[in-house]
Structure 1
């Protein structure tokens, strides 16, 4: 189907689901925007322009896009500081609409978290949003390359023992959607940022998804438009 929001029920099937965190199951926009606005201003950058590229990437990769001539070691050092600040700031971190029911429906099914956050930040935000942490997770420490590189999604599929073609990724950002597609997965785009980046299907939030399984264990995702 097209990347526009589904207006009639669509059913996608998979053997495993790979979930981005920020913007997909956890709404952390308030923290992200606070921290990155301050960072942009401190470097003489337009905060609005900076916020167009921060979502989905690891911090050092965002910095490399915004300050392309700066040594990467400086980006990694500043990213460590940024991660500590973001981990300590959970004010306004809430679940994306429908996320609690969606995550409950995945209990016992093959799924993994694939996030650009590090383990500490992922734990802080999932806890703040009162969402269960998937047993299988790929965090910043697990990969050499940030999204839009597909490494994280490929590692998630491998950890679950499922071919990427049999996985569905859930993403909200351009970088994340590109990563899922590059991994050979279908991608369900979640939220307002996702619609413009040609996911396999798009939903406004997770309230429009229904998860069931067939007798052979196949996961069925039914999508209904808002």
Structure 2
């Protein structure tokens, strides 16, 4: 991973257009080819990014750009969509490379792993007409627990937790933002599924258009919970 702290401006050109004016930012160039632009605020979320497959090209500025104080230009082009992220660097304050090695990935506990397996086998619990595409659908920022389609054939990303809290909603939000930039998948809706969902997490999920589903783990594995019912 290459970490660069630089005074730069950033332009995104493609299906959407966005501009970040000149400021000091952190540029992360990952081993998978992705580039993320971070500020010193906003928590985990990058201001802009380009996910793989993409290619980074560094070019010298022309005379007019040099006169404006630009030292070099990074152009990151997505290989499939041709979207471009253009970083105009005025000054590099810090530049380091780090070999992080192979990441083992997030290891779920036994119940979450079993929930994923059971929901994949009983995908109709999400609603009539839902079909499983695959478990552990890999994205540039990690695997989505389940990728499915709904009755209309639209993509559905499912994040599974034993106890659903705000962090889980934020995690699913990141996946959805990335997946909805992929024309092969978009539009992608989200389902936050858990044995128990905290009220604050439910409010945040529903505000972001994410559907919440409470799962009965015992019922899914065919075990009597021992709780008396009326019927």
TM over 0.5: no
**Relative CO higher for 1 or 2, CA cutoff 8 Å, sep ≥ 6?**
1
- State TM-score, norm by structure 2: 0.29
Rg larger in structure: 2
- State TM-score, norm by structure 1: 0.30
More strand by percentage: 2
More helix by percentage: 1
